Structure 1
Amino acid sequence: MRILLIGEYSRLHNSLKEGLVALGHEVTLVGDGDGFKQFPADHTIDAAISKTKLINLPRQVLFRLFRYDIAAIERGLRFYFLLRKLKGYDVVQLINEAPIKTTAAFEKTLLGRLTGQNGKTFLLSCGVDYISVKYMLEGNFRYSLMDPYYADESLLPYYRYILNYIGKKHKKLHDFIFSKISGVIASDMDYVLPMKGHPRFLGLVPNPVNLKKMEYQKSVITDKVVIFLGINRGTYHKKGIPFFEKALEIITQKYGNRTEIIITENIPYNEYINLYNKAHILLDQVYAYDQGYNALEAMAKGKVVFTGAEKEFSDHYGLTEKVAINALPDVDSIVNELSYLIENPTEILAIGKRARAFIEKEHDHIAVAGKYLEKWGMML
C-alpha cells in the first residue's frame, strides 16, 4: 500500500513510517522539521527563506504589528509546488487539522487538492485541535494546559495559537476537513476523552516507538540521583514547567549533594535524547492524563518519567503497578514523589524496568503500524 503522512510534531509520523516500511509498505512523509527539533522528512516544507537574516527581521516586525507570519505563506507555497508529486496514494494521514501550518484559507485549498487526488484521508488527534480545545474550555478535564492562562490572562501571547483553534477561520477549516476524512484516530487518552461518542472517531492507537533506536539502559545509582528537565520555551506554560522548576529548587535545598540536576532549553531532538541518557528521572509535563512522545521514549530507555499517568490511563491498559509517575500541577506533590525516589533508589530501578516492559508491550512501532493498517482498512 502507498501511504502519505502529512506533518510531524513529535516524531510520531517518523516512527510510524519506520513501522510501516518494515511491514512492506511504501511511505512518504511531508513535514517542516517542527522548528528547532529538526525532525526529518522525505519532502520538507520548512520556511527556510523566511528564516534567513535578510527576511527574518521584517518578518518579525510584520508579525508584531499585524499578527501575520510570512513563514506561513512560504510553507503553503512550498506545499503547493509539491502537490503534483503527492498523488495516487491509498491512504493519507494528517498529523493535525492544520498540518501544513499555513493560513486557514490556504490550508483549506491545499488540503482540498490533496484529498481530491488520493484515496482515503485520516486525521490524527495527537495535539490541540478544535474538539480538544473546546472540550478543555468547557471545563471537562479536572485540570488542563489552559489552567495557567485561566490564572493569569497576561499569558495570552503563549496561548493565542491554542485559542485560534476555536476561532471562526479555523472552525471553517475543521468543518471542511471533517467533510473529507474517513475517520479520526487518537494517540493517547488526552485525545480519546474529547472524541468519545463522535461519529468519525475510530478509537485509540498508541504512539509508535522504535525500540531499536531507544536502547534500554538499566539504571545504575552510585552516589547521586540524576534528574533531567528539558525546557521548550514554546510549551513552557502548557507543560507546567514552573511546577518542576520550583520543585527542583526545594529538592536541591533538601538533598544537596545527593542529586544532580540537568536542565536544557530548546535543543534539537537528536541532541535532546542523548543528553538525558545519564539521567535516572526525567520531568516531562503535568497537564496530561497519558504520556506524550518525549515521555514514551524516555520510558523505553528505562527512565522514571514524571508525566501524565492518570486513572483513565491505568484503567485503559489494565495496570496495577506504576510505569511512570503521575505528575500533578502541585509543587508539594512533585517534591514528595521525588523525595520518595531519592530516598528509595531501588524503586527507581523497578519503575524503569516496568516502563520499558510497558513500551515493549503497547508501543512497539511495528505492532502499532499494524494497528493503523487495521483502522485504515476498516474504512477502505
Structure 2
Amino acid sequence: MKVLLVGEFSRLHNSLKEGLQELGHDVYIVGHQDGFKNYPIDFPIVKKWDDGILKKIKIAFHSLFGFDISSYMTYCQFKKNKIHFTNFDVVQLINENSFYCHYYYEKKILEFLFKNNANVFLLSSGYDFLNVKYCFDTPDFKSVIQPYLQGRINSKSFENVLKFKSKSFEKLHQLIYSNIKGVIATDLDYHIPLHNNPKYLELIPNPINSAKINFQPISTSGKIVIFHGINEANYYKKGNDYFEKALDCIAQKYGDKVEIITTRNVPYSVYINSYNKAHILLDQAYSYDQGYNALEAMAKGKVVFTGAEKKFHKQYALQKRVAVNAIADVDYLVTELSYLIENPTEIIAIGKRARDFIEREHDYVKIASKYLEIWNKY
C-alpha cells in the first residue's frame, strides 16, 4: 500500500510510518519542518516570514490587505511538489489545519488532495472545529479551554484554538467532512467529543516505537529527581503554572531529598534526553489521556503526571496506575508528589507498569496494523 501522511507535530506520523514500513508499505510524510521539534519529513514545507522583522511586515500586510504571506508561500511550496502527492492508496490528514494556512490556501491544497486521491482520512489529534466546539459547549470537560475561560490565557495567546470557532474554519471543516472516508481519534480527549458523530470511525491509540526508547530503571536510594519541561508557548495550556507552584512547595518541604530539573523551550532532540535521570516527569494538567511527550516518558519508565482519568482506566481495563492523573490543583499535586517521594518503591512499580502499558497498548507495529484494518474496511 502507498500511503501519504499529511502533517506532523508530535512524532505520531513518524512512528506510524515506521510501523507501516515494518509491515512492508510505502509511506511518505509531507508537512512543515518544525524548527523546534524538527521531526523527519520527506517533503518538508518551510514556514516563512514567521519571525523577526519579516513577521512584523507579514502581520502589517495582513492587517492592511487581508493577505497572509505565509499561507501563500506554503501553497507555492506544495504546488511545486504536487506531482508527488497524487494516486496514493491512502492519504491521512493529521488535523483540519494540517498546513497551518488560512482558509483560502488550505482549501486549495485540500481540494487538490481530494481530487487526486480516492481515500482520504482525518485524524482528530489536536484542536479542530468539533473538538473546540464541544469543549466550549461543555465547560466542565477537562481541556485547555478551562484556563482560557478562567481568564488565565488571553485571546491573542489562544488564537491557534479560537480560529476553529471562526466561520472560515467551520467552512473548512465542512469541506473536509464532505470528502473524507472518516475520522480516527488518537486518544480519549478527541474520542469523547466525537461520540455518535456519523463520520467517526474508531479510537486508535498513538503509536510508540519503544524499540527506539530504552527502558531506564533508576535507583531510588538517592535523591528523587523531578523533571519539568516547559514550552513557553503552551505554559498555561499545560498547567505549568500549577506545576511550578507545586514544585516550590516540594522544594521547601523536602530540601536536599529531591532534585528538581526545569527546562524551557529546548528542541525535541534535547528534551527527550534531558529527563533520563528523572524519576518523575510533569507533563500536563488538562487532559483525560496521554499525549506524545507523556507516552514517550512512560516508555522510559518514568512516573508521569498527565491525563489519567477514570475514563482512561476504564478504556484500558487498568487495575493499577500507569501514570498519575494531574489536575489544576496545587495542593493535590503536592500531595501526590509527596506520596511518591515518601514511598519510592511505588515509583519503581508505576514506572515498570508504564513501560508494560506502552508495549501492550501503543506498540507502533500493532497500531499500524489497526490503521490498515480501518483504512481497508472503509
- TM-score, structure 2 as length reference: 0.96
CA apart distance, 1:223 = 1.7
CA distance, structure 2, for counterparts of residue 113 and residue 279 of structure 1: 47
Indicate the residue corresponding to 1:7 in structure 2: 7
CA distance, structure 2, for counterparts of residue 64 and residue 233 of structure 1: 26
CA distance, structure 2, for counterparts of residue 141 and residue 14 of structure 1: 33
Following superposition of structure 1 onto structure 2, how do residues 205-216 of structure 1 map, counting pairs within 5 Å? 205-216=204-215
- Deviation string for 1:66-101 (max 9, x for gaps)? 897532332222112221211110000000001011
Indicate the residue corresponding to 1:163 in structure 2: 162
Identity %: 51
Q: State the one-letter code of the partner of 2:296.
A: E
Indicate the residue corresponding to 2:336 in structure 1: 337
Q: State the one-letter code of the partner of 1:168.
A: K
Q: State the one-letter code of the partner of 1:353.
A: K
CA distance, structure 2, for counterparts of residue 259 and residue 324 of structure 1: 20
CA distance, structure 1, for counterparts of residue 60 and residue 264 of structure 2: 25
CA distance, structure 2, for counterparts of residue 73 and residue 221 of structure 1: 54
1:152 and 2:151 equivalent?
A: yes
Indicate the residue corresponding to 1:98 in structure 2: 97
208-217 vs 33-42, greater mean Cα deviation: 33-42
The 3-state SS of whatever aligns with 2:36 is helix
1:279 and 2:278 equivalent?
A: yes
Q: State the one-letter code of the partner of 1:310.
A: E
Instruction: Mark the CA change 1:72 to 1:261 in structure 2 (over 3 Å): closer, same or farther.
Output: farther
CA distance, structure 1, for counterparts of residue 318 and residue 202 of structure 2: 20
CA distance, structure 1, for counterparts of residue 171 and residue 63 of structure 2: 25
Q: State the one-letter code of the partner of 2:43.
A: H
234-243 vs 366-375, greater mean Cα deviation: 234-243
CA apart distance, 1:62 = 4.8
The 3-state SS of whatever aligns with 1:191 is helix
Instruction: Mark the CA change 1:126 to 1:167 in structure 2 (over 3 Å): closer, same or farther.
Output: same
1:373 and 2:378 equivalent?
A: no
CA distance, structure 2, for counterparts of residue 251 and residue 52 of structure 1: 38
133-142 vs 90-99, greater mean Cα deviation: 133-142
Instruction: Mark the CA change 1:208 to 1:52 in structure 2 (over 3 Å): closer, same or farther.
Output: same
CA apart distance, 1:153 = 6.5
Following superposition of structure 1 onto structure 2, how do residues 15-54 of structure 1 map, counting pairs within 5 Å? 15-47=15-47, 49-51=48-50
CA distance, structure 1, for counterparts of residue 199 and residue 31 of structure 2: 25
The 3-state SS of whatever aligns with 2:49 is helix
Indicate the residue corresponding to 1:237 in structure 2: 236
The 3-state SS of whatever aligns with 1:352 is helix
CA distance, structure 1, for counterparts of residue 46 and residue 32 of structure 2: 4
Instruction: Mark the CA change 1:54 to 1:244 in structure 2 (over 3 Å): closer, same or farther.
Output: closer
The 3-state SS of whatever aligns with 1:144 is coil
CA distance, structure 1, for counterparts of residue 37 and residue 63 of structure 2: 24
CA apart distance, 1:154 = 6.1
Q: State the one-letter code of the partner of 1:161.
A: N
- TM-score, structure 1 as length reference: 0.96
Aligned CA-pair RMSD:
1.7
Name stretches of at least 5 consecutive residues in structure 1 with no aligned partner.
none
The 3-state SS of whatever aligns with 1:155 is coil
* 1:105–1:173 Cα contact (<8 Å) kept: no
* Stretches of 4+ aligned residues off by more than 4 angstroms: 51-54, 60-69
CA distance, structure 2, for counterparts of residue 254 and residue 61 of structure 1: 50
* 1:79–1:100 Cα contact (<8 Å) kept: no
157-166 vs 22-31, greater mean Cα deviation: 157-166
